[in-house]
Chains A and B, each alone.
Chain A
């Protein structure tokens, strides 16, 4: 019940295309859903996050779509660029916990020029 399932495991997109990564969860106590971006040799860095009181959040080329009834959320990267090539992790937190983030398995995104 604590799991967050992420797909796909890897994704190849052409420059300018849309990258879509999906996550699903079961624990209805989760109430904070961040996405982290990780480049090789670096730690995960927060990219964008959403709370379940909204269905969508957009920051620049990055958008989170959230479907509370389906317990699913997704990251859309518009106009994907080679510099977006990285590993992306979705995560979830129950804010009554002490900061415990539950991560998805990660998606390796490759954007070809």
Chain B
């Protein structure tokens, strides 16, 4: 069964450093998403991406965050200067469409630890 893959599974970084989280969405999917889950809290929407541009973003997704689809398969989330409060599990998701066909398939996540 096709799946969304995320790398790395765990990323440790120092505060102020840049990190790039990588995702390979399901190949025929056109919509891509990032969510995050701070330990013990709910899953929160960060951003949706379609046709090489951001469709919607939350208030969490400030200027420190950016997303990119650098080639036909990868979808990345960059955090420019990490803060302690960025420590969380980051999930990538993809869907074939939005609306009636909007089944979002999630990857296993990248645990980001900012020290």
Contacts and interface: CB of A to CB of B under 8 A. Distances in A.
A42 B43 CA distance: 13
Interface of A: 6, 32, 34, 36, 41-46, 49, 89, 93, 95, 97-106
Residue of B35, B98, B105 ringed by the most chain A CB atoms within 10 A: B98
Residue of B50, B58, B91, B104 ringed by the most chain A CB atoms within 10 A: B104
Contacts of B93: 43
Interface residues of B, number: 27
Contacts of A43: 4, 91, 93, 106-109
Contact of B108 (A6, A36, A42, A95): A42
B33 to A, nearest CB: 6
Nearest to A6: B42
Contacts of A44: 43, 91, 106
8 contacts: A32-B102, A36-B106, A43-B108, A89-B43, A98-B56, A99-B48, A101-B45, A103-B43
Residue of B31, B50, B95, B109 ringed by the most chain A CB atoms within 10 A: B109
B99 interface: yes
Given A32-B102, A43-B106, A44-B106, A98 B48 contact: yes
